Structure 1
Amino acid sequence: MSFTRIGSAAAVAVVAAVLLSSCASNESPAPAASGSTAALSGTLNGIGSSAQAAAETAWISGFQSANSGVTVNYDPQGSGAGRTSFIAGSADFAGSDAALKDTELATPSPLCKSGTKAIDLPVYISPIAIAYNVQGLSTLKLDADTIAGIFKGTITKWNDPKIAAQNAGVTLPTAKIVTVHRSDDSGTTFNFSQYLAANASTVWDAPASQTFPYKTGDAAKGGSGVAAAVKAAPNSIAYLDESAAKGLGIAQLKVGSAYSTISAAGASDVVEKSPFETGRAANDLAVAIDRTNTDANAWPLVLVSYLIVCNEYQDAAKGALVKAYASYVAGSAGQTAGSTAAGSAPLSSAVAAKVATAIATIK
């Protein structure tokens, strides 16, 4: 079997644990992921989102257990690298925490049949954590303006009045805040900055971007790199896919007039209530996340991660293999495996049905 390649020792340890649980859960062969009895064979190469890494490991394990003639490789270089590689034709599919831009849709992969475009398939929903490493600080509440000030560099001390006002009775250190952001082109950064642009525009005066927009703090590559940096740096804070934030404190997020605790259910509910982007093909399911959702327990600081694939491949056999893999990933078995491995939210039944309809169009 061929599994994800992760770039840090810490990530390898996490993925090893995932593999053990994933393999245990797949001791009984699963039904053929293609939905038929036809044997599948061949190799798929994917590049992309580091947030998807743990889920991809579980998906690959489950899919290959059901299809012994198939090898799936996934390299979590980051969302930007995934989209670039897919468009260049060096990856059969991409994992990305941001849907393809219009300019990217206009430049299809050479793997796609001439005259056709790529499509975005939402397969992974996860809350983004505001994760911190501050000794003795077991609870932390933050609103969007304060988060924006911390990462922009205008709030520099842990006992700043804006933080203290939201954390009555909590002893905050006088220490300097160490922020850590992604150094690479990142869908997690895009979702984080999109949330702040929508909810803290008077502080966060940069548009949503896949590269961190301010020259502040420390930087690290990939979610695993950011997590390792925060764990190594006292008094630090970062934004991370929740799957990468294990072992760190996670702040509560002010949503409306109350504070929400991070949850996959709160993230999933926001996504289900959000519309799809307009002006795209019917089978391109890019989600226009409602970042201003204020429902009780909502978590609008959420990322939707996509499989980006050709709607129609030049190589029909490759198309059939991609279709089978996507079907497994978005199906109930794949969603259960991914959520167990990564703590992500399974697709709601309504979203899953739309994704299945889109996958059926892949050739």
Structure 2
Amino acid sequence: MKVRQLARQTGLVGLVLVSSLALAACGSDNNAGDEGTADSAAVTAGGSDIECGEGGTLNAEGSSAQKNAIEQAIASFEEVCPDITVNYNPTGSGAGITQFTAGQVEFAGSDSALNADKGEVEAAQARCEAGPAWNIPMVTGPIAVAYNLEGVDELVLDAATTAKIFRGEITTWNDPAIAALNEGATLPGDEIHVFFRSDESGTTDNFTKYLNAASGGVWTDPNGKSWPSSGVGEGREKSAGVSEGVKTTAGGITYVEWSYAKDNDLGIAQIDNGSGPIELTAETVATSVATAERVGEGNDLALKLDYATQEEGAYPIVLVTYEIVCSAGLDEAATAGVKAFLTHFASPEVQEGLVEIGYAPLPEDVQTDVLAAIEAIA
């Protein structure tokens, strides 16, 4: 099936998805990875040879956790392949997967790998037609337990105490359980105001995985993209919504990506994983991600994170945002564009630059596998 070639929209930096302009997901006998295509342009950036192809527009949607990271990558990509426009709509992981399986976007961002039990793997396979969808880890986004508490610049929490806060079992900041973790600190008796994601979110999924795995039975709900009914608080849409809620509410607390906590100048709790309080840094996150188990096969690079890790220096509340892609099945122009952009996104220079905006670069061995998987997209 031949797809329509789209004209590049000058200056657009990937903020709005225009579904009617999306490149359709159709089978093709062409392989955009072939070298020597007459109309393609090869560019070297970040130590990788990038084939820009004929240009066009790529639309993507999903994880708001990676919003700041992917927008930074899009901005620098414009200098590498100026004839390719990448639009990214940060509607949340659930919406991104829905749009991907419906064929409305070329790739999706999701803070959780495709879930076979929920039919996502089968639906993605049907969309791609010519091959399975792959989960390609791209952004390591630490989840901060972010708070707004005047006079408290440092705060230590552990999984059990955090679970009790988000279940409504601890309701004031000077609760004995919090005080025991913060010996010598002056904690006010202010009421705790919890904010949670009201939309389906991979951030919620990963945060509840942590609570379920590490709280010693305090958190009894299974993980999921939706906030459980046993949880308390006020729901806000997307990462920006919960961040704004805490920023404007004295005594507020939420779970949100590190980048949003930093952007909104929120307090960030140190997390005691059993080996002592651990500050959220790029190094402590990398230590945690390095313990992940590979659960995908071949070029499907889905990872299983160890949320209950007690390794010294490992910050335990992390998520990995995957770019969900067709291993084969897009037309030649779309395939070339996806490969070019993701190769740029995964390059060492781009990954290292993400640290400045609140993300951690992929561990070197994971990054090597990611670049190999992108190259294998046909």
**TM-score w.r.t. length of structure 1:** 0.88
Aligned counterpart for 2:210 among listed residues 195, 216, 225: 195
Q: CA deviation digits over 1:326-345, x for unaligned, max 9?
A: 111111132133333x2211
Task: Tell me the distance in 2 between the aligned counterparts of 1:47 and 1:31.
Answer: 27
Task: Tell me the distance in 2 between the aligned counterparts of 1:238 and 1:255.
Answer: 19
Letter in 2 for 1:251: A
Task: Tell me the distance in 2 between the aligned counterparts of 1:325 and 1:109.
Answer: 22
Q: 1:132 to 1:189 in 2, by over 3 A?
A: same
Partner of 2:223: 208
Give 3-state SS (helix, strand or coil) of 1:224's partner: helix
Does the 8 A contact of 1:44 with 1:71 survive in 2?
Answer: yes
* Structure 1 residue 37, shift from structure 2 partner: 6.1
Partner of 1:5: 15
Aligned counterpart for 2:347 among listed residues 310, 326, 331: 331
Does the 8 A contact of 2:289 with 2:305 survive in 1?
Answer: yes
Q: 1:344 to 1:40 in 2, by over 3 A?
A: farther
Aligned counterpart for 2:270 among listed residues 252, 268, 272: 252
Task: Tell me the distance in 2 between the aligned counterparts of 1:307 and 1:36.
Answer: 18
* Equivalent residue runs for 1:1-363 within 5 Å: 1-5=11-15, 31=44, 35-36=49-50, 39-102=53-116, 103-108=119-124, 112=128, 114-213=129-228, 214-246=230-262, 247-277=265-295, 280-340=296-356, 342-363=357-378
Does the 8 A contact of 2:148 with 2:250 survive in 1?
Answer: yes
Q: Larger Cα Rg: Structure 1 or Structure 2?
A: 2
Task: Tell me the distance in 2 between the aligned counterparts of 1:110 and 1:89.
Answer: 10
Does the 8 A contact of 2:142 with 2:319 survive in 1?
Answer: yes
Q: 1:115 to 1:5 in 2, by over 3 A?
A: closer
Give 3-state SS (helix, strand or coil) of 1:319's partner: helix
Give 3-state SS (helix, strand or coil) of 1:35's partner: strand
Task: Tell me the distance in 2 between the aligned counterparts of 1:37 and 1:352.
Answer: 19
Unaligned runs of 5+ in 1: 7-29
* Structure 1 residue 3, shift from structure 2 partner: 1.7
* Structure 1 residue 171, shift from structure 2 partner: 1.3
Letter in 2 for 1:2: L
Does the 8 A contact of 1:4 with 1:53 survive in 2?
Answer: no
Does the 8 A contact of 2:278 with 2:315 survive in 1?
Answer: yes
Unaligned runs of 5+ in 2: 1-10, 17-42
* Structure 1 residue 121, shift from structure 2 partner: 0.5
* Structure 1 residue 164, shift from structure 2 partner: 1.0
* Structure 1 residue 314, shift from structure 2 partner: 3.4
Does the 8 A contact of 1:188 with 1:210 survive in 2?
Answer: yes
* Structure 1 residue 320, shift from structure 2 partner: 1.5
RMSD after superposition: 1.9
Q: CA deviation digits over 1:295-352, x for unaligned, max 9?
A: 2221111111111111012312211211111111111132133333x22111121111
Give 3-state SS (helix, strand or coil) of 2:199's partner: coil
Number of equivalenced pairs: 337
